[in-house]
Amino acid sequence: MTTVIIVDDQALQRLGFSMLLEQHADLSVVGEAAHGAEGVRMAAELRPDVVLMDIRMPGMDGIEATRRIVQSGGRSRVLVLTTFDLDEYAYSALRAGASGFLLKDALPEELIAGIRAVAAGDAVIAPGLTRKLIDAFTDRMPGQTPEQERRLTALTEREREVLTAMATGWSNNEIAERFSLAESTVKSHVSRVLAKIGARDRVQAVIFAYDTGLVRPA
């Protein structure tokens, strides 16, 4: 059973998400919050697998709420919801530690699949949109820190290739085909890369790759 809390200032939006999720036997909505601060408190108390997080809310917004939930070190992973005209907010949420984001007009099956993927430890983000976000806001990225350089140096040549491919938006299957590897081997490489660079998931690995200059915007 995957437990979820919904954080959104729109009551009808929360109701719609809750009704959709409760149609699936493996998903359970254990709480709803109307603003970021309430979402942070609820995440600490209920320790859900996934926090479905809106961005623009009165008081504490979804970006700050995401940052606090992630920094708490708890088990909860944050899946942010956004719209096309909120790319900057979505990018900030990813840097705050969100495990991905979906557009609010996503199909119901896409939302359900996204929640399941995040709960399983994967990241949910369209590769093309990843590049769009990073290309648009790369000028705001800080320079490489000594700690980032140390982590990057710890990667083997193959692991660097895999990280570069991840940052380009390739799936495990595409990476396997490109380097003539078994997909299970690629998964092992990905796990080692995440561990060495200290990333929770693929989204954070992508940001790391751009932060360190391993990958440059097109």
Q: Give DSSP secondary structure letters for 129-144.
A: HHHHHHHHHGGGPPPP
Q: Domain-by-domain residue ranges, the chain?
A: 2-125, 143-211
DSSP 8-class letter at 198: T
Q: What is the pLDDT of residues 150-161, one digit of tens each?
A: 888 999 999 999
> In terms of Cα–Cα distance, which of 91, 90, 44 is closest to 71?
44
d(CA 6, CA 9): 10
- Report which secondary-structure segment, H or E, holds 53: strand 50-53
Residues in the chain: 218
Find the farthest-apart pair of alpha carbons in the chain and give their distance in angstroms, rounded: 51
Residue 138 has pLDDT above 60, yes or no: no
Q: Where does residue 110 fall: left (phi above 0), alpha (psi -120 to 50 degrees), or beta otherwise?
A: alpha
d(CA 26, CA 80): 20
> In terms of Cα–Cα distance, which of 97, 32, 111 is closest to 63?
97
Residue 98 has pLDDT above 70, yes or no: yes
The position carrying tokens 């690995």 is: 205
CATH topology of domain 143-211: Arc Repressor Mutant, subunit A (1.10.10)
The predicted pLDDT at position 85 comes to 53
Q: What is the pLDDT of residues 169-205, one digit of tens each?
A: 788 889 999 999 999 999 999 999 999 998 878 878 8
Q: What is the pLDDT of residues 73-95, one digit of tens each?
A: 888 999 998 775 555 676 777 77
CATH topology of domain 2-125: Rossmann fold (3.40.50)
